[in-house]
Amino acid sequence: MSFEDAEIIKRRAEAFLRNAKTLLDEKEWDLAIFSLEQFCQLILKYKLLMKRGGYFRIHSLRRLLRLLGQDNPKLLELVEDEKNLHYIARLEEAYIVARYLPYTFEERDALGMYKFILEVFKPVVESI
């Protein structure tokens, strides 16, 4: 992919994060969490494109983080620290749940994941 293609993925990721905030304000917890997961997935794929020139067609945040973590060990904090892993695993669940299962998330889930992304995930990923 070209640099321009990578930038489209980055802009799309940022749009999902903005969309998540709007959905949180509208109390659409399920869709907000799905948008948060999409932000995470796309921003990690963007980083892989920039660092390695490509990425595998995978959706697992844990696998994407471990791939990037091979070159940037700081990212491994997101899958090796139990508290962080809890949020990453919940976001992975959201990808499947929001698309295929009749399950609903609660306000506390959505707000907690949003806070995690802004305060932990995003700063770590932006630092690489």
pLDDT band at 1 (very low <50, low <70, confident <90, very high): low
pLDDT at residue number 26: 98
What CATH number is attached to the domain comprising 45? 1.20.120.330
Q: Are 93 and 99 in contact (CB under 8 A)?
A: no
How big is the CA angle at 126 (ends 95 and 54), to the nearest 5 degrees?
65
Q: Total domain count for the chain?
A: 1
pLDDT digits (tens, 9 = 90+) for 89-116: 999 998 888 778 888 899 999 999 999 9
The pLDDT confidence band at residue 38, using thresholds 50, 70 and 90, is: very high
What is the token pair recorded at 90? 């919940």
Mean predicted confidence (pLDDT) in 26-39 = 96
The whole-chain average pLDDT of the chain stands at 92
Q: Which domain holds residue 94?
A: 3-126
How long, in residues, is the chain? 128
